[in-house]
Chains A and B, each alone.
Chain A
Amino acid sequence: MAEMWINMGPQHPMTHGLWNMRIKVDGETITDAEPVIGYLHRGWEKMVENRLYPQIIPMADRLCYGSAFTWSHVYCMAVEKLMDIEVPERAQYIRAMSDELQRIGNHLMWLAAIGTDLGNLTMFLYATRDREMFLDLFTSLTGARMTYNYCRVGGVRNDSPPNWTRDLVRTLDYFEKRLKEYDMLVDQSKLFRMRMEGLGYMSAKDCINAGITGPVLRASGVKQDLRHNDPYEIYEELDWNICTHDDCDTWARYRVRMMEMQESVNIVRDILKKMPESGPIRVKPPRAAPVGTAMARMEDPRGESLMYLVGDGTDKPYRLSVRSPLYVIISASPQLLKGYRIADVPSILGMLDVCVGEMDR
């Protein structure tokens, strides 16, 4: 067979969302690749320019179906910096706790997705089943399953419901058992390891040069985690470790995400210990932001998300720019794919945890 271009997308089971991975193959070997995005472009950044500041929060939720809370959180942090609002301590704890629960939920969604990518539907159903537990938790906390609209400028929407700690601890106990099951199903399975080991090699130097952040960077052995390097909210006060791995391949990315889930469970337990019992959780924000700029960044489940906000003295932002971690990672995907086989494409791209909503905006 001569070399040919194969379109993996926009309608293809490999793409989680609407984008196109063009791949040039020589037989089964990939010689070139080209990501094409823009099928899901909603003009998000322009759209929010004629919304009031609180109206943007549900919009920010809809940047990514998997990690809605972190996006509204980073937006709220940017507005708080611009308006110079201090957030009550209990609200900060609740935000950090929701962040970690969201991280678990998002990583479970990713685990489910790679299950189907690698051809094992069981993994998909186990992971979605357990994600349902966290969605139930979020429903009782925020009132919605996926797009929470929970974070507010200056706090969070409401306090945790009664029996929240009991439910949360039960869910975490259950989930830790399930994590061991995943370990046996995926880690301890030779066939899964065969599909993951040694693929998509990207050294730490290449990762940093490409601007890659998040679990992909940590899987290359770089200790970069904004919760540690540029701590926001109350992460300074918590005991936790950065999960890194030295293998630089998809298996390392898998391991880092699995370790992060365990670490998130530990962080939530720690938060439950240190959280103040009661107190105000919400500050009334001013309607208009002053003239000026503000930047907030945080550790999204996929990497480093950043929002840059320009206020012009009115109650609507002049400009809100989003730095999506995945946009950067996907632009480096040709480097990840070259030299491997067609059959490796789902496992390499699946480990990046693609979410087109935040990539295209």
Chain B
Amino acid sequence: MTTSPPPPSGTPAWRVLFRMLAAFLALFAFAFWAAAGWNKGWTKNQIAIPQTDEITGIEFITYQDHFAPGLELLSAAFFFSIALFGITFLRRKNKS
């Protein structure tokens, strides 16, 4: 009596894992960007806080440490996610 090998599954496990990772990365990046202030400009390490000098009326700026990821970081994360997702569709060339 011989045992036959298991039938090949539809999608290899590593492809499924990479697709899940890509989806997780995209969702995490979007959630982090939105939670950090929905900053539609450049990434900032500090935020400018306008203040006014009482005697002179001069408006001046002080800075406070605050990380706000910008659209360029979100774009980079999406680009990486799409690349990761795209890798899962690559097929090895058959050597003839």
- Tell whether A and B belong to one assembly: no
